[in-house]
Amino acid sequence: MTHPLLISTMKNEAPYLLEWVAWHRLIGFGSLLVYTNDCEDGTDAMLDRLTQLGLARHERNRVLKRGPQKSALKHALAHELTQAADWLYVTDADEFLNIHVGDGSVQALIEAAPGADCIAVTWRLFSHGGEIGFRDAPVTETMTEAERPLEDGGFPDRFAKCLYRRLPSLARLGVHGPREAGEARFVWMQADGRRLGKGDNLTRPARRFAYEAAQVNHYAVRSLDGYLVKKDRGRANHVNHDLGVDYWRRMCRGGAEDRTILRRLPALKAEIARLKEDAELARLHEEAVAWHRAKIAELRARPDIAALRAELLALVEAGDHRARFAPKRPAKEAEPAPEPRPEPRIAALCAELRGLLDHVEPRAAAMEAAARLDEIERGLFGAPRR
């Protein structure tokens, strides 16, 4: 039996936290290591309580110049839980590892890729699912519209997240996969056991996603109003990137129904209910929901956020998230431009100027000017017109 460790970073994710913890414990992550920074909604307090209950380990993130997420991964590499684990998995609060092989557990995923040191599991982006307002309900239940398959106009080049061994050659924990050092190299496979090598983009497959074995359900935008809070919070990795219309259009994709994660919904709801049996956790969850509702009301009162919300609503109503991929066609080779034909008036002016040069003194200056006129006529007519 393996001992996989899940590592994550969070800020203001409290109303979604219990579902996320319940899900990943349900599929076999016995250890969860979560770093937080600058939380306002009680995410840190909830994780403190989960730590007290022995259900997770919470660490305050000392943010370095590299940003919150990469700082946390630097700290996590030396953490005692990391050093005790044999498999590691770095993920975000809006991602759910959805395993289809075997009993749907992390152990089943490892067994489906025998000999792998690193198993790359491809993202599948989900849309807002028609959810405009924020509500306290499981994201995995309410949002079942996902990006299209390739054969129906889906977008290629989808990112992956990796489950990998803690080998001696592991130098850094990457956002999407391990960073190696030395001559030894991980054996990389996709979730279905296909070995990856030269010619493969290890963490961003172009067209082969192995969804029949596993996928990462990525709810990057959640509800429209929930997205406003995410924009206000900012990104964990690219801290200087604005979360606006461009990010929404890139990460909110639909057009296909995907309900595969719902096979575990009864067990998930039972696990969430079990977590809420702790009165302190239940209280913190309700306070987080209230904080997010108040924050949304505050944000919607701002003119800039109101304008963004109106723009996003227009995209929702237009079905922008269901757009199909349209590959760029190579531009046709331009026809060669025709040779310029100077106006007759220009030819007459040149002839007039040449006649005037015959009367210029000193002759050296006249000859120099005539030579220059020769160059001009050569460019205009192809040859001097003496």
Residues 312-325 pLDDT 10s? 999 999 999 999 99
| pLDDT for residue 270 is more than 70 | yes
Q: How far is C-alpha 244 from the geometric centre of its chain's CA atoms?
A: 14
For residue 313, give every residue at least 6 positions away whose Cβ sits within 8 Å of its Cβ, in sequence order, or none.
132, 224
pLDDT at 238: 46
For residue 217, give every residue at least 6 positions away whose Cβ sits within 8 Å of its Cβ, in sequence order, or none.
95, 96, 97, 98, 124, 126, 140, 146, 258, 261
For residue 17, give every residue at least 6 positions away whose Cβ sits within 8 Å of its Cβ, in sequence order, or none.
10, 43, 46, 47, 93, 285, 288
Six-digit token string for 274: 């079990």
The 10s digit of each residue's pLDDT in 353-374 is 766 666 666 555 666 676 677 6
- Rounded to the nearest 5 degrees, what angle is found at the Cα of 33, between the Cα atoms of 165 and 19? 110
Q: Is 376 helix (H, G, I), strand (E, B) or coil?
A: helix
Place of tokens 């209950």: 53
For residue 230, give every residue at least 6 positions away whose Cβ sits within 8 Å of its Cβ, in sequence order, or none.
221, 222, 243
Q: What is the mean pLDDT of residues 163-176?
A: 95
Q: Work out the pLDDT band at 341, boundaries 50, 70, 90.
A: low
Place of tokens 């943010």: 63
Element housing 231 (H / E): helix 224-233
Spatial distance between the Cα atoms of 300 and 160, rounded to a whole number of angstroms: 34
The 10s digit of each residue's pLDDT in 188-214 is 999 999 999 988 999 999 999 999 999
At residue 270, what are phi and psi to the nearest 5 degrees? Answer: -65, -40
The 10s digit of each residue's pLDDT in 285-312 is 999 999 999 999 999 999 999 999 999 9
The 10s digit of each residue's pLDDT in 18-43 is 999 999 999 999 999 999 999 999 99
Q: Work out the pLDDT band at 155, boundaries 50, 70, 90.
A: very high
Six-digit token string for 382: 């192809």
Six-digit token string for 183: 């001559």
Spatial distance between the Cα atoms of 322 and 316, rounded to a whole number of angstroms: 9
Place of tokens 């160059």: 375
| Contact present, 18 and 273 (Cβ < 8 Å) | no
The 10s digit of each residue's pLDDT in 68-80 is 999 999 999 999 9
DSSP string, 272-291: HHHHHTSHHHHHHHHHHHHH
| Contact present, 31 and 5 (Cβ < 8 Å) | yes
Tell me which residue of 7, 24, 16 sits closest to 230, measured CA to CA.
16
Tell me which residue of 130, 362, 115, 363 sits closest to 225, measured CA to CA.
130
Spatial distance between the Cα atoms of 16 and 291, rounded to a whole number of angstroms: 13
| Contact present, 83 and 89 (Cβ < 8 Å) | no
At residue 255, what are phi and psi to the nearest 5 degrees? Answer: 110, -10
pLDDT at 252: 98
Place of tokens 């109303």: 15
Say if strands 118-125 and 214-218 run parallel, antiparallel, or are unpaired.
parallel
Torsion (CA) 62, 65, 66, 68 in degrees, nearest 10:
40
| Contact present, 175 and 237 (Cβ < 8 Å) | yes
Q: How far is C-alpha 192 from the geometric centre of its chain's CA atoms?
A: 23
The 10s digit of each residue's pLDDT in 222-269 is 999 999 999 998 754 445 567 899 999 999 999 999 999 999 999 999
Q: Is 296 helix (H, G, I), strand (E, B) or coil?
A: helix
Place of tokens 């599929």: 27
pLDDT at 340: 52
